[in-house]
Structure 1
Amino acid sequence: MSDAAPNSTPPAPPAGAKAQPSQRKLFWLKVALLLGLLGLLVFGIASIELEPNLSHLDVTLLTGSERGHYRAIGDRLSGVAKEQKGTLRVTSTQGTIENVERLVTHAKSPTVQFALAQDGLAWSEEQRKTLRLIARLPSRETVFFIAHKERAPQLRRLADLEGKTIGIGPAGSGTAQLAGQVYSGAGLESLKPKLVRLPLDQQLAQLKEQKLDLGVFVMFEDAPLVRDALRGEDLVMISFPELAALAGRESFLRLGEIPLGHYDPVADKPAQATPVLQVDTLVLGDGSASHSDTVALLRLLEETY
């Protein structure tokens, strides 16, 4: 018998020999894991939305009255957001003044983040600290001066407003505030006109009855209320040669023009191209929205306009 130490290394299996059962199990386990990883990778790629959308947008926008143009803007934005899987809730209000007050009152609230507002308001210190300017819409609001056709020839210059009765919209409205600012900024106090605050439908009625000499309306140029009024027989739009000077005095005012026949090209209403004052429409925020929601809203505005 040999005294050599036994060889501890098992001999290699001969070529062509079958793998042991444990080795076969390990092989198929690796195959299963690899297939599982490939499946997860395919699922992940399939779940990625290659086309950008607004699915992360989830905010509320304060607008205006149910039949007003601010509400129409909100509904349009909401529709575009929905098409791209985003959510923009639209809330009707009385307009600019209420919108600003609600944003300030509910600052940092998760229920209200943005609002539409008319430029040119006299902002309080609290409003300046709380509100954020998000955007200016490309479509501006127009300052209309409307009178009865029999009174209009008497109103050719601003000086002709001396002692006249002027409707400036509902109390607390953006129209009333803007009219008050223009009135003060232009130094019209010396003319001592009587400023009357009325709901817009009553203001139109009193213009037709000639109980008012002039009515001021601030809205989009194709708003149904103005369009229907100027297509009628009683009321006309007037202008003043001093409007350019007023626009130069106030940074928020712009000088625009309503073309001849814009409201009725057959009857020529207005009868000539008419200079008008215009103000921007603002999108305001209270700072409570996330950065991603704010960016998404800006993208929504860009795609809509």
Structure 2
Amino acid sequence: MKTGTLIKILVLLLFLLIGCITVSRELFPSGVQAVPPPSEELTGSQTPLVIATGDMSGVYFPMGEAMADLFRKYNGKATGTQVTNASIQNTKLVSQKKAELGFSTVDALALPEMKKRKILALTGLYSNFIHIVTTKSNIRSLEDLRGKRVSIGTVGSGTKLMAERILKAANLASNEMDVSTLSFTQSADALRNGTIDVAFFSSGLPNPVISELASEMKISLVPIPKQVAESLHEEYEFYTLDEISGQTYTGLERTPTLAVKNVLFTYPDLPKQEAYKLVKTLYEHLPESQNAYPEAMEIHLSDATAGIPIDFHPGAKQFFKEIIH
């Protein structure tokens, strides 16, 4: 083969490769995990469904993956999950139709600015528990956080929202600490290498990154005092005093803390029948998710609509009305 012909073939192959990469990026932007299309025997809509989740080391991400599996398997829905900063960022993505579904804690959904965003609930889910993780033996209370290096969660996360409210209720000002805004993964790494002393996590139980950290080194959880919890409950009724049991993580004792409910939501323009099918699929096949992820064991149809500060999508309303009657 002549050299000139060989070069032409190589150039043609290079253009074809670049074209494939470009198409892939257009269909699934950065941060979205592409999911293989469903089998031909499924007759559902092939419009991609993107679920805005959270940090890959949190619970939102694997829960989103589990839901994506269900929707692909039973609804014939090409589905992907997008890694985000969680609650507040998810509401922005969904309201701007950059994602079809998203997870959020109810405290984030109750923020005044959320009234300006067009989002509707599909169902309530499990609860998040605040974990205040430290590697220091001399940090046993919120008061001990003064003068320490503290990660309060990423900007746009429910973790940061709760952390700031807890610190305020405990009369701790941000200028009394060296505050950073790290993700779950970054916080765990910073605790490992000693660049921070304390990290806040708002997560379902158990949180994977905390489980891994507890198996590697000595850590402890800082309790939230009853008076701080009661104060926050009075001001924001959706926070409840709860506990992380001693069986949740290796070597950790029972710890009083705050819990807050999670919600799966969408935008109003999602077709009613599609929203109905998504909620129906979630509950009809919930045992599959429960077998894969322990957090799904805390999703109960009986309290799916309780304590949600935003309106429900008409498709979700139809499903719950049928179940009630």
Per the TM alignment, residue 68 of structure 1 is displaced from its structure 2 partner at its CA by 4.1
TM-score calculated relative to the size of structure 2: 0.64
Per the TM alignment, residue 144 of structure 1 is displaced from its structure 2 partner at its CA by 0.2
Q: 1:28-43, aligned counterparts within 5 Å? A: none
CA contact (8 A) 2:71 2:79 kept: no
Q: 1:1-305, aligned counterparts within 5 Å? A: 55=44, 59-66=49-56, 68-87=58-77, 89-94=79-84, 95-106=86-97, 112-121=99-108, 123-125=111-113, 127-137=115-125, 139-152=126-139, 155-156=140-141, 158-189=142-173, 192-242=176-226, 243-249=228-234, 250-264=236-250, 269-270=251-252, 272-303=253-284, 304=286, 305=299
2: distance between equivalents of 1:180 and 1:261? 28
Extract unaligned runs of 5+ from structure 2: 1-41, 287-298, 300-325
1: distance between equivalents of 2:174 and 2:221? 24
Extract unaligned runs of 5+ from structure 1: 1-52
Q: Identity, % of aligned pairs?
A: 20
CA-based RMSD of the aligned residues comes to: 3.0
Q: Based on CA coordinates, which of the two structures has the bigger radius of gyration? A: 1
In the comparison of the two structures, how many residue pairs are matched?
A: 240
Secondary structure of the equivalent of 2:83? coil
Matching residue's letter, 1:196: S
Distance 1:131 1:263, change over 3 A: same
TM-score calculated relative to the size of structure 1: 0.67
Matching residue's letter, 1:182: I
Per the TM alignment, residue 105 of structure 1 is displaced from its structure 2 partner at its CA by 2.3
Distance 1:63 1:297, change over 3 A: same
2:18 aligned residue: none
Per the TM alignment, residue 207 of structure 1 is displaced from its structure 2 partner at its CA by 3.0
Per the TM alignment, residue 210 of structure 1 is displaced from its structure 2 partner at its CA by 4.5
1: distance between equivalents of 2:87 and 2:150? 21
